[in-house]
Structure 1
Amino acid sequence: MAVTTATALAEEIGERLKQARLNRDLTQSEVATLAGVARKTVLNAEKGKVQLEVFIALLMALDLTEQLDLFLPKQLISPLQLAKLQGKQRQRASGQRRNTNEEQASW
């Protein structure tokens, strides 16, 4: 897929969603009912203009959620990134520690 812009890619995904619906011989209204959205929302999704949560609901209605692993596989943390994250772990819950004598005096 040689898409050059985010808009073009969104439109391509919308077209694929439409083809998936047609392959299942479903109308936009039927998919809308299954997904719990308005028919116009399905129409917009097929144009590539939809929120992520709604897109996922449409994938669920079309029984395509297993395709998400192909679309965006689960990402593992690289050893380099893991080392960077471990270096930034919090050591304690608050800023500076108070002297125990000061704590006892404030009681």
Structure 2
Amino acid sequence: MSEKTASALAEEIGERLKQARLNQDLTQSEVASLAGVARKTVLNAEKGKVQLEILIAIMMALDLTDHLDLFLPIQQISPLQLAKLQGKKRQRASGQRRDPEKDMSEW
């Protein structure tokens, strides 16, 4: 899949949307009604010509939003990035500093 163009990948996603719709025995009009979009929008989505927000609405209508984690997993912060964010933590206490002149005056 990595060697395909963006357009080819968009078309493949559209084909997968269409197959998901057909697997659920839904018409384009029914999906459009569930997603709150026009039938023509569903048709365009199935051709790979869709805006992200519309794609998500159609995925919600087809009950496919659980697949978003497979499509684009949540990115965890690496331990190195986490360490940079936290900054340096103190490893030991330095103790209270005494004023040497004050100590001499108490004699």
User: Aligning the two structures, in what range does the TM-score lie when normalised by the shorter sequence?
Assistant: 0.7 to 0.9
- Normalised by the length of structure 2, the TM-score is 0.74
Identity of counterpart residues, as a percentage?
84
- Normalised by the length of structure 1, the TM-score is 0.74
- Root mean square deviation of aligned Cα: 1.5
Tell me how far 1:85 sits from its aligned partner.
4.6
Q: Which runs of 5+ in 2 are unaligned?
A: 88-107
Tell me how far 1:77 sits from its aligned partner.
1.1
Alignment deviations for residues 20-76 of structure 1 (CA, whole Å, 9 cap, x no partner): 001111110000000000001001100111111110000000011111111111110
1:73 aligns with 2:73: yes
Retained in 2: the 8 A contact 1:15–1:48? Answer: yes
1:18 aligns with 2:30: no
1:34 aligns with 2:47: no
Q: Which runs of 5+ in 1 are unaligned?
A: 88-107
Taking a change above 3 Å as real, the CA distance of residues 4 and 23 of structure 1, as seen in their structure-2 partners, is same
> 2:63 maps to what in 1?
63
**Looking at CA atoms only, which structure, 1 or 2, has the larger radius of gyration?**
2
- Cα distance in 2 between the residues matched to 1:3 and 1:55: 23
> 2:82 maps to what in 1?
82
> 1:47 maps to what in 2?
47
Amino acid at match of 1:64: L
Taking a change above 3 Å as real, the CA distance of residues 58 and 3 of structure 1, as seen in their structure-2 partners, is farther
